[in-house]
Amino acid sequence: MKIDQENIKKEINELLDQHSELDDAIERINEKIPFDQIKLQRLKKRKLVLKDEINKLKSKILPDIIA
């Protein structure tokens, strides 16, 4: 179980790195005038997908707490 959590944490960190790289790419595209709207939308969509994957993985390592 502990090994699984460590693997999940590593995967989360990798996804966070990718998320950060996409954030930087989006900023660079926004600085250009004119910018490629389609490319920007694709990057933003990929960023949202990564965020969802990160949240799913985080929910696997956090225990369910009933308040």
Please report whether residue 43 resides in a domain: yes
47 lies in a domain?
A: yes
Does some domain include residue 54?
A: yes
Q: Does position 66 have pLDDT exceeding 90, yes or no?
A: no
Q: Which domain holds residue 30?
A: 2-61
Confidence bin at 64 (pLDDT 50/70/90) = low
The half-sphere exposure of 11 on its side-chain side, counting CA atoms within 13 A, is: 16
Domain membership of residue 17 (yes or no) is: yes
Task: State pTM to two decimals.
Answer: 0.78
Evaluate whether residue 53 is within a structural domain: yes
Domain count across the chain: 1
pLDDT in tens, 3-61: 788 999 999 999 999 999 999 999 998 888 887 889 999 999 999 999 999 999 999 88
**Alpha-carbon gap, residue 14 to 41, rounded angstroms:** 22
